[in-house]
Amino acid sequence: MALLEIRNVTRRFGPLTAVDDVSLAVEAGEFFTLLGPSGCGKTTLLRMIAGFDLPDAGEILLEGADMADTPPEKRPIHTVFQSYALFPHMTVAQNIAFPLRMAGNAPEQISAKVRDALALVHLEAKGQQYPHELSGGQKQRVALARSLVSRPRVLLLDEPLGALDAKLREEMQIELIDMQREVGITFVFVTHSQNEALALSSRIAVMNAGRVEQLDEPSRLYGFPRNRFVADFIGKINLFNGEIVAVDGERVRLRVAGLGEIEARGAAGLRPGTPATLALRPEQVRLAAIGAALDLPNRHPGKVRDFLYIGDVTTYVIDLQNGQRMQALLPNSSPGRAKFFEVGDAVTAAWPAEAGVVLTE
Amino acid sequence: MRKLALGIEALAIAVLFGSFLASGGKLLLAGAAAALLALAGVLGLAGKRREMPGFWLWFVSLLAYAFLYIPLVIVVIFSFNDSKLNAEWVGFTTAWYLKLFSDEDMLRAALNSLSIACGAAAIATVLGTMAGLSMHRFKPKLLPFLVFTPVAMPEILLGVSLLIFFLNSVSPALGALGIDFGLGLTTVVIAHVTFCIGFVAIIVRARLAGMDESIFEAARDLGATPWQTFRLVTLPLIMPGVIAGALMAFTLSIDDFVITFFTSGVGTKTLPLEIYTMIKVAVTPEVNAVSALLMALTLGMIMIAAKLAPDLMQAKT
């Protein structure tokens, strides 16, 4: 039995359906992520799990028990809020002690647990300070310590890293993973950042317009997106519209206007004649000077239109001869000053048959 | 810079009152005008160099302040005047204050005023805080009107309607139950509560307005019942607003005249009513003394309130 189960949950606000018949199950010990653009319903869903909102239809079960009649304070589920929501009139230690006090722990027990929690988030010295004296990252840690100290069954995190700067965010990501492993509590994480989701999660539910588009492990989600929305939302991708001409098991031939016939992978059961989209990750595309030998089935001549040098990689924008435009991502892994092509260079863009994914939705 | 300007201001005011005391009050207007001109001139000159308001802006604003506060200051000064008449400065004395404290009627009125103010402030604070909280949380449409109307309503209207209500509705109704109900301390307290609730509610709501809603949700989330959330999180956070509201209610109650006049009935005198009775005969220095004390009390309360709820003085509510 799953630890947390969402069964056909729907939540409407007037004419808007924020969460539309969502079902999913979170296993114990998972780092589960709800990923989606703002307004996709992920925060509404989180608030219903926490108990601040109730579903219009469907049920939320924790260890098999319906939570509908359980108020937030009675649910063994804690939330880390985007704004941290620390109590400004209490010290860090008092903040962390709050859930323990509410649960009726003995004072000596409380102080021991608070000390452990402070150690967990490396803030041993800050116990007597007030939240306004802390930096954003420290507040974040206090919020984490406070929601973890009484060992909830599930920890909900609502865009907890949103307010931090890029460098700190990366540090906190690593800390979050470590912490989750250390305490063994199930995390349900809400974010609109695909990088965060891919880096942290054991499984991700990609949400759009109140529905779950795909629920999978990060690498499956990235490598085998189920539809255009997921392909486009997770990472960068080239999308070409075309039509299926031949199917041989997972090998699919696709006709794309201007590119001719292209070999790619597809789900089983595709039928020739259906309109489909070819999805191709930029890092799968190789670039070579015209005439250089490339032993790849898909080869198309083009010209470098632009490039973005990002340090570790360079993204090239290629204008193919037939008018299509595509992106290619090349690592700058060779020593010395990295540079492959200039704007205007004639190149051949090529990719292996198994690189492209055929999407019909 | 600000300190310098304040220093000059204080100096000019000292000169003004110095000249006034020295001349026995005859040259008051001339002295005041001269001091104002000089002060505005000095500040205006400083302003040209340091991008502060110029001469005329200083002059007009100082004039406005003078208009507002000189009468009050004169009342305080004359409360120390060693003369029965409010016309000429004779010498310094605290006799009027001593006389005040041996005046039976005055002391009884003061005691009435204080107990009414304490009672009304206490009740209005509890009800007003509740109103402010619910207005913030549930965003009702009608409640703000109901709460704020008594604040804006002309006092005479409120006074008359309360009087009629007490005499024609409450008294017969309670009389039918065998309870004797007449005008007195209780009716004054009820009347004061009606117009104080609004002020407390405004202040409490303003205090809540800037607050992160998720703090209260976090408390629930971490295991606090609604009541615990209120006691341990909400109340401590709005406490400055609650105290400011209580002080505001206290000051409003203690110097209310019109509504008290209508609802106190015969025999129950408050300080403002007592002062009114006294000046019907003559404006004695004793009246000055009691007014000065009342002023000091009010000013102190407002200052504490402003300190506790700085947003109150930002004219935003």
Q: What is the per-residue pLDDT across A211-255, written as a single tens digit (0 to 9) for each?
A: 999 999 999 988 888 888 998 888 888 888 888 888 887 788 888
To the nearest whole percent, how much of chain A has pLDDT over 70? 98
Beta-carbon separation of A78 and B221 below 8 A: yes
In a domain, B92, yes or no: no
Both structure tokens of B24 = 């026995």
Q: Which residues are within 8 A (CB) of B171 and not within 5 positions of it... i.e. 6 or more apart?
A: B181, B182
SS3 B91: coil
Q: Which residues of A touch B214 (CB under 8 A)?
A: 81-83, 85
Largest separation between any pair of C-alpha atoms in chain A: 78
Worst-scoring range by mean pLDDT, A312-326, B40-54, B143-157?
A: B40-54
Q: Which residues of A touch B224 (CB under 8 A)?
A: 73, 98, 102
A344 in the Ramachandran plot: left (φ > 0), alpha (ψ -120 to 50) or beta?
left
pLDDT > 80? residue A127:
yes
In a domain, B30, yes or no: yes
Q: What is the per-residue pLDDT across A151-171, written as a single tens digit (0 to 9) for each?
A: 999 999 998 887 788 888 888
Q: Cα(B60)–Cα(A53) distance, rounded to whole angstroms?
A: 57
Last residue of a domain, one of A183, A206, A229: A229
As a 3-state breakdown, chain A gives helix, strand, coil percent values, each rounded to 5, of 25, 35, 35
Range of the domain at A138: 4-229
Range of the domain at B165: 99-314
Same domain, residue pair B257 and B198: yes
The count of structural domains within chain A is 2
Q: What is the DSSP string of A270-324?
A: --TT-EEEEEE-GGG-EEEETT-----SEEEEEEEEEEEE-SSEEEEEEEETTS-
Rounded to an integer, the average pLDDT of A271-284 is 87
Last residue of a domain, one of A171, A196, A229: A229
In this prediction, residue B317 carries a pLDDT of: 35
Measured CA to CA in angstroms, residue B3 lies from A357, B6, B36, B42, B156 at distances of 74, 5, 19, 14, 44
Letter string b/e over residues B22-38, b meaning 16 or more CB atoms within 10 A of that residue's CB: eeebeebeebbeebbee
Same domain, residue pair A161 and A272: no
pLDDT > 80? residue B73:
yes
Beta-carbon separation of A89 and B220 below 8 A: no
Q: What is the DSSP string of B48-80?
A: HHHT---HHHHHHHHHHHHHHHHHHHHHHHHTT
pLDDT > 70? residue B208:
yes
Rounded to an integer, the average pLDDT of B161-188 is 87
pLDDT > 80? residue B16:
no
Beta-carbon separation of B212 and A83 below 8 A: yes
Same domain, residue pair A38 and A21: yes
Same domain, residue pair A285 and A206: no
Closest-CA distance, B3 to chain A, in angstroms, reads 30
Evaluated on CA atoms A111, A113, A114, A116, the torsion sign reads positive
Q: Which residues of B touch A81 (CB under 8 A)?
A: 214, 217-218
Q: Which of A77, A85, A150 comes nearest B218 by C-beta?
A: A85
pLDDT interval class at A11 (50, 70, 90): very high
Q: What is the pTM of this model?
A: 0.77
In this prediction, residue B49 carries a pLDDT of: 56
Same domain, residue pair A123 and A85: yes
Domain CATH for A246: 2.40.50.140
Same domain, residue pair B246 and B115: yes
pLDDT interval class at A337 (50, 70, 90): low
Same domain, residue pair B42 and B170: no
pLDDT > 60? residue B160:
yes
Worst-scoring range by mean pLDDT, A86-95, A278-287, B307-316?
A: B307-316
Same domain, residue pair B159 and B280: yes
Beta-carbon separation of A52 and B218 below 8 A: no
Same domain, residue pair A59 and A200: yes
Same domain, residue pair A187 and A69: yes
Beta-carbon separation of A85 and B214 below 8 A: yes
pLDDT > 50? residue A320:
yes
Q: What is the per-residue pLDDT across B224-276, written as a single tens digit (0 to 9) for each?
A: 999 999 999 999 999 988 988 999 899 899 989 999 999 988 888 898 898 88
Same domain, residue pair B206 and B291: yes
The count of structural domains within chain B is 2
- How do beta strands A154-158 and A77-80 pair? parallel
In this prediction, residue A249 carries a pLDDT of: 78
Beta-carbon separation of A73 and B218 below 8 A: no
Measured CA to CA in angstroms, residue A205 lies from A16, A190, A236, A286, B148 at distances of 21, 10, 18, 31, 49
- Which residue's entry shows tokens 């010209």? A303
Q: Cα(B201)–Cα(B204) distance, rounded to whole angstroms?
A: 5
In this prediction, residue A12 carries a pLDDT of: 92
Strand partners, A265: A251, A357
Beta-carbon separation of A87 and B215 below 8 A: yes
- Which residue's entry shows tokens 């039928």? A271
B234: nearest CA partner in chain A: A87
pLDDT > 90? residue B171:
no
Last residue of a domain, one of A191, A210, A229: A229
Mutate to test the interface with B, among A89, A94, A156 (most CBs of B within 10 A): A89
Same domain, residue pair A62 and A27: yes
A85: nearest CA partner in chain B: B215
Closest-CA distance, A84 to chain B, in angstroms, reads 8
Closest-CA distance, B126 to chain A, in angstroms, reads 22
Task: Tell me what the pLDDT averaged over chain B comes to.
Answer: 83
Same domain, residue pair A208 and A303: no
pLDDT top residue among B131 and B69: B131
Same domain, residue pair B216 and B110: yes
Same domain, residue pair B119 and B201: yes
Q: What is the per-residue pLDDT across A289-314, written as a single tens digit (0 to 9) for each?
A: 877 767 787 888 888 898 888 888 88
Which one of A67-76, A343-352, B176-185 scores highest in mean pLDDT?
A67-76
pLDDT > 70? residue B183:
yes
Same domain, residue pair B129 and B193: yes
In this prediction, residue B316 carries a pLDDT of: 39
Beta-carbon separation of A72 and B217 below 8 A: yes
In a domain, B271, yes or no: yes
Mutate to test the interface with B, among A87, A91, A140 (most CBs of B within 10 A): A87
Q: Which amino acid, B172? A: P
Letter string b/e over residues B39-56, b meaning 16 or more CB atoms within 10 A of that residue's CB: bbebbbebbeeeebeebe
Q: Enter the DSSP assignment of B92.
A: B
Q: Are A205 and A33 in contact (CB under 8 A)?
A: yes
Mutate to test the interface with A, among B221, B234, B235 (most CBs of A within 10 A): B221
pLDDT interval class at B70 (50, 70, 90): confident
Q: Which residues of B touch A79 (CB under 8 A)?
A: 217-218, 221
In this prediction, residue A171 carries a pLDDT of: 84
SS3 B16: helix
Chain A to chain B, count of Cβ pairs less than 8 Å apart? Answer: 60
**Which stretches within chain B are classed as H helix?**
2-22, 28-50, 55-78, 95-100, 104-138, 142-152, 155-164, 171-176, 185-209, 214-221, 226-229, 235-254, 258-263, 271-281, 285-308
Beta-carbon separation of B233 and A87 below 8 A: yes
Same domain, residue pair B165 and B244: yes
- How do beta strands A65-66 and A57-62 pair? antiparallel
Q: Cα(A105)–Cα(A98) distance, rounded to whole angstroms?
A: 10
Q: Which residues of A touch B220 (CB under 8 A)?
A: 51-52, 71-73
Strand partners, A205: A34, A215
Q: Which of A81, A103, A150 comes nearest B218 by C-beta?
A: A81
Worst-scoring range by mean pLDDT, A234-238, B55-59, B63-67, B123-127?
A: B55-59
Domain CATH for A86: 3.40.50.300
Rounded to an integer, the average pLDDT of B133-144 is 88
B217: nearest CA partner in chain A: A52
Closest-CA distance, A71 to chain B, in angstroms, reads 8
Beta-carbon separation of B222 and A86 below 8 A: no
Both structure tokens of A1 = 């039995």
pLDDT top residue among A270 and A239: A239
Beta-carbon separation of A83 and B236 below 8 A: no
pLDDT top residue among B279 and A35: A35
To the nearest whole percent, how much of chain A has pLDDT over 90? 40
Q: Which amino acid, B310? A: P
In a domain, B84, yes or no: no
Task: Tell me what the pLDDT averaged over chain A comes to.
Answer: 88
Mutate to test the interface with A, among B211, B213, B216, B222 (most CBs of A within 10 A): B222
For residue A96, count CB atoms less than 10 angstroms from its CB and return exposed for 0-12, middle for 13-18, buried for 19 or more: buried
In a domain, B91, yes or no: no
Q: Which residues are within 8 A (CB) of B32 and not within 5 positions of it... i.e. 6 or more apart?
A: B16, B20, B66, B70
Same domain, residue pair A66 and A169: yes
Same domain, residue pair A191 and A255: no
Domain CATH for B263: 1.10.3720.10
Same domain, residue pair A261 and A210: no
Closest-CA distance, B125 to chain A, in angstroms, reads 22
Closest-CA distance, B228 to chain A, in angstroms, reads 9
Same domain, residue pair A54 and A103: yes
In a domain, B94, yes or no: no
In this prediction, residue B265 carries a pLDDT of: 82
Q: Which residues of B touch A146 (CB under 8 A)?
A: 222
Please tell me the number of Cα atoms within 13 Å of A134 on its side-chain side.
Answer: 24
Beta-carbon separation of B222 and A98 below 8 A: yes
In a domain, B130, yes or no: yes
Q: Which residues of A touch B218 (CB under 8 A)?
A: 79, 81, 85-87
Both structure tokens of A91 = 């010290």
